[in-house]
Each structure stands twice: as structure tokens, then as C-alpha cells.
Amino acid sequence: MLLYIHGFNSSPLSDKGLVTAQFIAEHYPELNFRQPQLPSTPRESMELLSGLVESALENGETLTYIGSSLGGYFASYLAEKYGGRAVLVNPAVTPFELFDDFIGQQYNPYIDEYYQVLPEHKDQVAAFNTEVILNPDRFLVLLQSGDEVLDYRQAVQKYHCCQLLIQSGGDHSFVGYEKQMHSICQFLFS
């Protein structure tokens, strides 16, 4: 199973989500590709993701993940807890430190939905922190130094023992993501 995990205020309908879905459909049509729309709370999101992973494990499937931003944070937790390989794209490292800036009403334009970020969501996100990467061979981390949302140097520090691809410039969306799909899949499936 390949589980694509989108970031905060995003969706499978984001550019990366659509590129990933199209590439997998064209090159790996037999793959169990899952790309859920995450609920608006961290706890419910992890319950959904863990349920998908546990179901795949019960079916004897190999686990792989692509996680973007907050989805990269979640993918780190899942890969460390359940196994499998993960590609993290401009991953959030300590998103709970940023949650105070987002408390209150939020709007997700991809699904045309308003929702509330509450103070307790900060602790919910913190519960999934993987402070130390114990299995660095499971991770490929794609970073762009021009990320305007997250400081890529935090990810360099956390994932220093993992395979890293660091590009200068770019932005949080990871400019040129589609050009990385072959190497992403080579890492995940080899």
C-alpha cells in the first residue's frame, strides 16, 4: 500500500496530490494507493491513517508513504511505529510549536470547508512527535531551501542520518515535484 498524506489545510486535490495519483495510476496501477482527505483534527486524522495502515498490515501488504508538510510529520510517526518506507516532502518537524498561530477558524479551499483549530489540537499533534529517527534507512526527505512556511534547516537537523535531497530555492509546495516521482518510487519500491 502507498499512503499519500497531505498537509495542513490541504487535500488530495492539491497539485502534489494530483501529480502523485496520476503517476501511480499510470506506472503502478496494481498498487493499493490510498489518498484520504484528512479530518480537521489531528487525533481523528491519525485514527484514520492508523486504521488504513493496520488494515494493510492485516492483508499482508508492504507499507509505503508519501507525506507533505504536516503529512510528512504524520508519515514519520507511522513509518517508525508500523514500519515501511516514507518519502517526506518539506516535512513539518515540530508543527505543535506553530499551532498557536492557527487557533480559531480556518478555511480549506480544496474542500470548501470552514473548521476550528482548538488549543487542544496542539497537544494532539505533539503526541505524534518522533523526536529521534530510529530507522533512518526508511526515509527519503525532499527539501527546498526556499520553503516560505517551514525552516528546512530543522528537517536537515532531524533527518540528518536519512537520505536527503536538498535543493536551493523552490518553495513549500516543492517546485518541480513531478520531476521527482521516478526517484520517489524507486526509493519506495526497490
Please, are residues 105 and 128 in contact by the beta-carbon 8 Å criterion?
Answer: no
Mean pLDDT of the chain: 97
For residue 76, the model assigns a pLDDT of 98
**Could you report the per-residue pLDDT of 75-118, keeping only the tens digit for each?**
999 999 999 999 999 999 999 999 899 999 999 999 999 999 99
Q: What is the spatial distance between Cα 147 and Cα 125, in angstroms, rounded to a whole number?
A: 21
**Residue 114, beta-bridge partner list:** 107
For residue 71, the model assigns a pLDDT of 98
For residue 158, the model assigns a pLDDT of 97
| Cell numbers standing for residue 60 | 499482508
